[in-house]
A and B are shown apart, each in its own frame.
Chain A
Amino acid sequence: MEFLTTYWNLVPVSLAQGAVYSLVALGVMIPFRLLSLPDLTSEGSFPLGGAVAAAMLASGFGVVPAIAGALLAGALAGCMTALIHLIFKVTSLLSGIIVLTMLFSVNIRVMGKPNTALFNYDTLFTKLLDADGGTPMTQFILVGAMVLTVCGVLYWLLHTELGLGLRAVGSNQIMARAQGLSSTSFVIAGLTLAGGLAALGGATMAQYQSYADVNMGVGVLVIGLAGTILGEAIWGRNTLLRQITAPVIGSICYFQFVALALSLGFRPSDLKLLTGLFVLVALGAPILREKMKSRKRNLRLIGTGNRHKRGPVPEKGRIVR
Chain B
Amino acid sequence: MSSDNIQAGLHVSGLRKTFFPGTVQEKAALNGVDFSLGAGEFGIIIGSNGAGKSTTLNAISGELPLDEGCVVVAGQDMQRRPAHLRSRHMARVFQDPMQGTAASLTIEENLAIAARRGASRGFRKGLKNVERDWFRTALEVLGLGLENRLKDRVALLSGGQRQSLTLVMATLNSPSLLLLDEHTAALDPRAAELVLNATLKAVEGQKITTLMITHNMEQAINHGDRLIMMHAGRVVLNLDHSEKAGLTANDLVARFHDVVSDRMLLNRPWNF
Query: Chain A residues in contact with chain B, CB under 8 A?
Result: 157, 159-165, 167-168, 170-172, 174-183, 238
Q: Report yes or no: B109 in contact with A164, Cβ–Cβ below 8 A.
A: yes
A238 to B153, CA, bound (A): 9
Q: Report yes or no: B100 in contact with A180, Cβ–Cβ below 8 A.
A: no
Q: With A172-B99, A174-B94 known to touch, is A180 a contact of B126 (CB < 8 Å)?
A: no
Decide if the interface of chain B is mainly helix, strand, loop or mixed. Answer: loop
Q: Does B88 contact A (CB under 8 A)?
A: yes
Choose the segment among B25-33, B77-85, B227-235 that binds chain A (4+ C-beta atoms closer than 8 Å).
B77-85
Which of the residues B82, B99, B127, B153 comes within 8 Å of A175, measured between beta carbons?
A: B99
Q: Report yes or no: B82 in contact with A182, Cβ–Cβ below 8 A.
A: yes
Q: Does B104 contact A (CB under 8 A)?
A: yes
Query: Chain B residues in contact with chain A, CB under 8 A?
Result: 61, 63, 82-85, 87-88, 91-92, 94, 98-105, 109-110, 112-114, 116-119, 121-127, 153, 169
A174 to B126, CA, bound (A): 20
Which residues of the other chain, B, contact A179 by a CB distance below 8 angstroms?
A: 87, 113-114, 116-117, 169
Q: Report yes or no: B61 in contact with A178, Cβ–Cβ below 8 A.
A: yes
Q: Report yes or no: B101 in contact with A162, Cβ–Cβ below 8 A.
A: no
Which residues of the other chain, B, contact A170 by a CB distance below 8 angstroms?
A: 104
Q: Report yes or no: A161 in contact with B102, Cβ–Cβ below 8 A.
A: no
The 3 closest A-B pairs by CB, nearest first: A164-B126, A171-B102, A161-B121
Q: Give chain B nearest CB distance to A182 CB in angstroms.
A: 5
Q: With A172-B99, A177-B84, A182-B84 known to touch, is A164 a contact of B91 (CB < 8 Å)?
A: no
A295 to B153, CA, bound (A): 30
Q: With A160-B126, A161-B121, A168-B113 known to touch, is A183 a contact of B104 (CB < 8 Å)?
A: no
Closest to B94 in A: A174
Most buried by B among A160, A176, A178: A178
Closest to B100 in A: A175
Closest to A164 in B: B126
Q: Give chain B nearest CB distance to A67 CB in angstroms.
A: 22
Q: With A165-B113, A171-B104, A171-B105 known to touch, is A177 a contact of B83 (CB < 8 Å)?
A: yes
A238 to B103, CA, bound (A): 12
List 22 interface pairs A-B (beta carbons < 8 Å), by A numbering: A159-B126, A159-B127, A161-B123, A162-B126, A164-B105, A164-B109, A164-B113, A165-B121, A165-B126, A168-B105, A168-B110, A171-B104, A171-B105, A172-B99, A172-B101, A172-B102, A174-B63, A174-B99, A178-B87, A178-B94, A179-B114, A183-B84
